[in-house]
């Protein structure tokens, strides 16, 4: 059965990312080959992969194309800040979007390169998957970094992600403080202490 995978921040061709993100490789060639091998070890040809930004950075067009062709699966791009015009329009992605809402195995998911505090459907159980931060912020029970720096330099499935979300500490978000439609009257102060409206 075909699977859906998520990844971000592969930065193919970007030698400096090895130092900047503390990746355990000695050269950009070793880096790129390891990420290709790891990708193809978990992604079957019939699978789908959502790349949540920063596919290639500093790779020339020919190198980016050759890497893309070696990667298994039907690939979709959610645009990141380092995705060049060529990466966005010159590679044969199945789709290219700034943000996407999908449902996988009944789970509503919002994909955006940047982590958000709130997103469409958050109050009804939608989760957000992002990249950009290279494992530098905490996982919340409803949002998760799918960048390669968090996941052994490989794409991950919703099953992997759910296990991490389930283990994440709870965070109270502002959206959960007031009930739907309940707005304080003009001049009324609302004090919230430990998530309880006083």
Which pLDDT tens digit goes with each residue over 71-103? 999 999 999 999 999 999 999 999 999 999 999
Percentage of residues of the chain with pLDDT beyond 90: 75
Give the residue extent of every domain in the chain: 4-170
Determine the pLDDT at residue 55. 98
**pLDDT mean across residues, the chain:** 88
Higher pLDDT, 122 or 95: 95
In sequence order, the 6+-apart residues with CB closer than 8 A to the CB of 99 are 78, 110, 111, 112
The answer to whether residue 190 scores a pLDDT higher than 60 is no
CA 44, 49, 53, 55 dihedral sign is positive
Per-residue pLDDT of 124-141, as tens digits, reads 899 999 999 987 888 888
The answer to whether residue 52 scores a pLDDT higher than 70 is yes
Q: Measured between alpha carbons, how far is 32 from 34 in angstroms, rounded to an integer?
A: 5
Determine the pLDDT at residue 41. 98
Q: What is the CA 146 to chain-centroid distance, rounded? A: 4
3-state secondary structure at position 27: coil
Determine the pLDDT at residue 168. 84
Determine the pLDDT at residue 198. 36
**Residue whose token pair is 């052994």:** 152
Per-residue pLDDT of 134-176, as tens digits, reads 878 888 889 999 999 999 999 999 999 999 998 888 765 534 4
Where are the extended beta strands (E) located within 67-173? 74-78, 95-97, 99-104, 107-112, 127-130, 143-145, 156-157
- Which CATH code fits 4-170? 3.60.21.10
The answer to whether residue 180 scores a pLDDT higher than 80 is no
Q: How far is CA 154 from CA 71, 76, 138, 140, 171, in A?
A: 12, 16, 19, 21, 27
């Amino acid at each position: 059965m075909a699977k859906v995978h998520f990844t971000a921040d592969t930065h193919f061709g970007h030698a400096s990312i090895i130092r900047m993100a503390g990746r355990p490789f000695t050269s950009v060639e070793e880096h790129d080959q390891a990420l290709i091998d790891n990708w193809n070890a978990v992604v079957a040809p019939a699978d789908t992969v959502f790349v949540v930004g920063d596919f290639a950075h500093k790779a020339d067009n020919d190198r980016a194309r050759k890497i893309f062709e070696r990667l298994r699966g039907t690939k979709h791009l959610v645009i990141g800040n380092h995705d060049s015009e060529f990466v966005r329009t010159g590679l044969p992605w199945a789709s290219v979007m700034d943000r996407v809402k999908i449902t996988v195995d009944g789970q509503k998911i919002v994909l955006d390169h940047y982590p958000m505090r709130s997103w469409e459907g958050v109050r009804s159980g939608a989760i957000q998957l992002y990249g950009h931060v290279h494992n530098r912020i905490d996982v919340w029970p409803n949002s998760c970094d799918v960048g390669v720096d968090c996941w052994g330099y490989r794409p991950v499935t919703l099953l992997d992600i759910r296990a991490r979300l389930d283990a994440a500490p709870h965070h109270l978000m502002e959206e959960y403080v007031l009930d739907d439609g309940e707005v304080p009257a003009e001049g009324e102060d609302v004090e919230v202490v430990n998530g309880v409206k006083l």
